[in-house]
A = this chain, B = another copy of it.
Amino acid sequence: MTDRAHAGRAVAVRRGGVPEATVARLPLYHRVLVDLAESGVATVSSDALATTAGVNPAKLRKDLSFLGSYGTRGVGYEVSVLIEQIGAELGISSEWPVVIVGVGHLGHALANYGGFASRGFRLVALFDDAPQLVGTEVAGLTVRPFADLPAVARADGVLIGVVATPAPAAQQVADALVAAGVNSILNFAPVVLSVPPAVDVRRVDLASELQILAFHQQRRGDDLGQVAR
């Protein structure tokens, strides 16, 4: 999973010491809960919520227990309360300024992704150096040349950046992001970024995901003595 050993020893169950595995599931719970709320559901049991989210009920309860005790025995959880508590834990209350670098198809897709605001993010700028893109408007923002990054980053206090460039450009983009004070990077380029230890990088890679699926698929096939056609 993640071997981002944050602070090394801080993982102990201190105040706010939510296990990494739990953190990774909180956004999922949040999403499911918001959907429930929109469907008019006011209260939900751990069993029902766990089924919807596709996890084990006991695991769900334990995850939620790290945030505090917000359930009512015999009844369940109030959806709105959970949404608020998970949101608080994830920092949705504050509004994180985010920049996207690279406005190809992927950058477009990300920029037009509707869920930024409702999840605590504000897209503040799009960068790309392609002349035919600079100056055009995408998702209500004007695409700016990458050279503008430092100014924007400092002006808006940007700490989170998304790399959606082709692989060859990714490393130097990351370097520039780090130099501009960004220390959380979401990397969609199929390369391993080299950054200072203080910078947190998450990598999202289509091919890796497909290969993991293919591995399981292959194993299933082997078990049945079948051959992938």
Query: Which residues on A are within 8 Å of B, measured CB to CB?
Result: 1-4, 6-7, 10, 16, 21, 23-24, 26-28, 30-32, 35, 52-56, 59, 89-92, 94-96, 98, 104-106, 108-110, 112-113, 115-116, 119-121, 157, 159-160, 162, 183-186, 190-192, 200, 202-220, 222-223, 228-229
Given A219-B16, A223-B7, A228-B94, A211–B105 Cβ distance below 8 Å? no
Asked if A217 and B159 sit within 8 Å, CB to CB, the answer is: yes
Asked if A217 and B192 sit within 8 Å, CB to CB, the answer is: no
Asked if A119 and B216 sit within 8 Å, CB to CB, the answer is: no
- Copy tally for this chain in the complex stands at 2
Which of B94, B115, B203, B217 makes the CB contact (< 8 A) with A160? B217
Most B CB atoms within 10 A — which of A30, A120, A202, A228? Answer: A228
